[in-house]
Amino acid sequence: MEAKTVCTHCCLLCDLYLEKGREIEGVSFRNPLCPKGILAWRITYHKRRLLYPMRRKGRYERISWERALAILSRKLKAARSKAALVSGTCSGEEISAVSSFMRAVRGKLYTSFPALGLGGERAGLEEIERCDLIFALGEPFEQFPVLAGRVLRAKYERGVPLFNLSCRAGPTSWFSQLIQPKPGTESWVLLHLAKILIERGLYKKECEREEGFRKLKEFLAGVKEETFELSGVARSALEVPATALSRSARALILWTPGVSPEWVSNLALLVGAKILVLPGAPNATLLQAAGAGPFEGEKVDVALIFREDPRKIDASFKVLFTTFEESGADLLLPVPAFTEMSATYTDMEGRSTTVPPISDPPPKVREIPDILQRLSEKIRPGISQTKGGPSSETSSGKGFKITQPQGPPKTDERFPFAVVTQPTYFNPEWKILRPTPEFLELHPADAGKMGIKEGDRVVVKSAEGEVERVAKVRPSIPEGVLYVPDFKALVASLGVR
């Protein structure tokens, strides 16, 4: 028997066909899948599945649901500050329930995904087959392997030019004309492209009717030539992509997490390009519509963490709603895997898909809306949870927006390395399915100075903390720069373990 669902690792929501007898037995390869999609079904039966509530008292101990809810309700009643950190891999029904609950208890709603404040005309995946130029920001091939196949077919079957703006020469750059700025200065490159387009009159004339065009033109006229040094990308290196964008009739910009959205919309409006927004997790647009913003860093008394990495929020008491056993929270509450519940997910185009359950959850596992309903009754009788999912509509943000881009991060003796980072796993649970040593990349010259060899264990330190990684020595990383995926800081120091 074959059962159809979707892979919830990222915003592509690839169809997932599973072979099923009494239990799920494997994947039916009816469409392209990345390694994460191929392994997704194994979440259901993994040996680290969380089967009952657990409380940390030195070590974790099993407790009843009644006891778990009593502890949590007491903590919430006493807390002065409360917050929820919600993953985009939560279903629409879960996001709606969490949003309603946090409003009722006067708590804040956060997400670890960046704000999607992009104007311009949005594109769908089918635009890859229609466009005549692709301008990729960041590292879409590494983050979305299935997308890479579609982009490469456009390049090699239809001859579509491919440009890549990235501080790191990753897999996307191997097939592209690479524009490699200093870390954190991508917005300056986009600003300079806009400046060249307007100075040379290469922009689409109809954009003059857009709100803010005159102010944009005046602002760019005042941008001095010396600012090209901020990004490390010379004006001459931008003439080719600027000309190619101006000649394109149907350009497509790929935006990925890890690249600031500043100036993306302005460039798109100037050349009439569409933007394919790849926010990472499937329901990132729903979270934005629900009012969730990036975590601002302040410590809270109680944090409710929904299918997210508990290290991403600072709290005195952490409660993790999770499928797997974890070690970063004070209270662990077991929730269903994506194969075990009726759920709605929204892709990056705003299209919703509702999938049925195809397996049964373990006996002590509870759905998030049900947990929050029971918790509401304990905290404040009469609180009810809103059913259905929040709207995925977002502001179009039309017109030109003028912002001053940030320069490269400032290094010093304490933190001498600039850091390039990006999310590599949009669903923290996937790390357990395929555990691999966490790594960093550094230039051979930097490795030589510090006596670091390929495969050495090193410690990366920043003001926010430290992590241990496996060193990969790569000439594709500029000197003085570290590539540290899934890292928060922009500057860091490096030491040998």
CATH, residue 492: 2.40.40.20
Same-domain status, 306 and 373: yes
What confidence tens digit (pLDDT) does each residue in 417-431 have? 999 988 777 777 777
Taking alpha carbons only, the member of 360, 378, 428 closest to residue 65 is 378
| Confidence label for 36 from pLDDT (cuts 50, 70 and 90) | confident
Type of residue at 364: K
Average pLDDT across the chain, whole number: 89
Same domain for 362 and 301: yes
Selected residue with higher pLDDT from 222 and 298: 222
Q: Measure the CA–CA gap between 97 and 306, rounded to whole angstroms.
A: 11
Question: What is the four-CA torsion angle of 214, 216, 217, 223, rounded to 10 degrees?
Answer: 150
* Strand order across the 251-255 sheet: 121-122, 274-277, 251-255, 133-137, 162-165, 177-179
Maximal CA-CA distance, the chain:
70
Question: Does residue 37 form part of some domain?
Answer: yes
Angle at 389 between CA 387 and CA 392, to 5 degrees: 155
Domain limits at 441?
417-496
- Residue 358 in any domain: the answer is yes
Which of 339, 407, 106, 134 lies closest to 250, judged by CA?
A: 134
Over 70: is that where the pLDDT of 383 sits?
Answer: no
Residue 388 in domain: no
Check whether 387 has a pLDDT greater than 50: no
Is the pLDDT at 393 greater than 60? The verdict is no
* Per-residue confidence (pLDDT) for residue 280, from 0 to 100: 84
User: How far is the C-alpha of 366 from the C-alpha of 377, rounded, in Å?
Assistant: 16
> Looking at the domain assignment, is residue 408 inside a domain?
no
Sheet arrangement for strand 24-28? 2-6, 15-20, 24-28
Asked whether residue 313 falls in the same domain as residue 369, the answer is yes
The verdict on residue 219 lying in a domain is: no
Cβ 91 vs Cβ 343: under 8 Å:
yes
The reply to whether 21 and 104 lie within a common domain is yes
Number of domains in the chain: 2
Please say whether the beta carbons of 16 and 4 come within 8 A: yes
- Whether 372 and 422 map to the same domain: the answer is no
Q: Nearest-CA neighbor of 397 among 194, 196, 115?
A: 115
Query: Is residue 194 in some structural domain?
Result: no
96 and 45 in one domain?
A: yes
Tokens of 232: 């490390």
Whether the per-residue pLDDT at 114 is higher than 80: the answer is: no
Same domain as 290, residue 375: yes
Single-letter residue type at 390: P
Residues, the chain, total? 497
Q: Is 103 found in the same domain as 22?
A: yes
Would 34 be classed as within a structural domain? yes
Average pLDDT score over residue span 151-161: 97
* Contact present, 251 and 272 (Cβ < 8 Å): yes
pLDDT at 76: 94
* Judgement on whether residues 356 and 427 belong to the same structural domain of the protein: no
In this structure, the answer to whether residues 422 and 473 fall within a common structural domain is: yes
Same domain, 366 and 455: no
Q: What is the pLDDT of residue 30?
A: 80
Task: Decide if pLDDT at 437 tops 80.
Answer: no
Residue type at position 467 = V
Would residue 145 count as lying in a domain? no
Instruction: Tell me the pLDDT band of 213, cut-offs 50, 70 and 90.
Output: very high
In terms of domains, do 24 and 107 share one?
Answer: yes
pLDDT mean over 35-48: 86
Measured CA to CA, the distance from residue 189 to residue 116 in angstroms comes to: 20
Burial class (CB in 10 A: 0-12, 13-18, 19+), 9: buried
Q: What is the CATH number of the domain that holds 93?
A: 3.40.50.740
Q: Is the pLDDT of residue 155 over 90?
A: yes
